[in-house]
Amino acid sequence: MIEEWKESGESAAVFAARIGVAANTIYRWRAALIGTVSRVPASTLSRIVELRAEPMPGDTRFEIDVGGRRVRVPASFDETGLRRLLRALEATP
């Protein structure tokens, strides 16, 4: 990131805003890179974590019509629980 910042020609403030961190974080990274960070506790340094978004699935629920009732059940619903629910609905007048 420091190399990218240097190549960008941007100020630390502009570059930091573009990547979503505070400007002083850029300076801390630079200090850590050149080994002058010894006077800054490691717990105060920011860390970059790469996150990749996964596409959300479409509608993942089941719709069941039982005895004139419509039940919407998420796909993650436990099979045993679903069986109990269906028995209860079938038994209800």
In tens, the pLDDT along 23-46 reads 888 888 888 888 755 555 666 556
For the residues 12-30, what does the mean pLDDT come to? 88
| 70 Cβ contact partners less than 8 Å away, ≥ 6 residues apart | 63, 64
Better pLDDT: 61 or 5: 5
pLDDT at position 32 is 82
For the residues 64-76, what does the mean pLDDT come to? 76
Q: Distance between CA atoms of 49 and 46, rounded to whole angstroms?
A: 10
pLDDT at position 46 is 63
pLDDT at position 93 is 66
Q: What is the mean pLDDT of the chain?
A: 77
Residue entry with tokens 């509608």: 59
